[in-house]
Amino acid sequence: DVKVTQSSRYLVKRTGEKVFLECVQDMDHENMFWYRQDPGLGLRLIYFSYDVKMKEKGDIPEGYSVSREKKERFSLILESASTNQTSMYLCASLSGSDLLSYEQYFGPGTRLTVT
């Protein structure tokens, strides 16, 4: 089974702090994604990566950056956390050879609260 793990299930940070959210997948997938999930808005794509050191902005990249130094790990960075970044963050991965099925595999999510 594909496994996508996220470093924390719950995280509380203060305004202005630099926050790192880590995601690791164990299936050698080329593509990885970061979403945020908010009630009434569904999932919105923040950033994605289609290879090591490659990244593309999603729909809401402002206030975020990402890092992909190794194929299995994709990190989301909040440079200076703000209260409007309080949300559930979901990581997903997708095999490059699985493009037609588009079955993205999701981690359990990190619920981040910024106070």
Does 71 bind another protein (CB under 8 A)? Our answer is no
Residue with tokens 């619920």: 111
- Residue closer to another protein by CB (options 81, 92) is 92
Does 112 bind another protein (CB under 8 A)? Our answer is no
19-38 positions binding another protein, by CB under 8 A: 31
Minimum Å distance from CB 113 to another protein? 17
Q: Using CB under 8 A, which of the segments 11-19, 62-70, 79-87, 95-103 binds another protein?
A: 95-103
Contact residues: another protein, CB under 8 A: 4, 31, 40-45, 48, 50, 56, 58, 90, 92, 94, 99-109
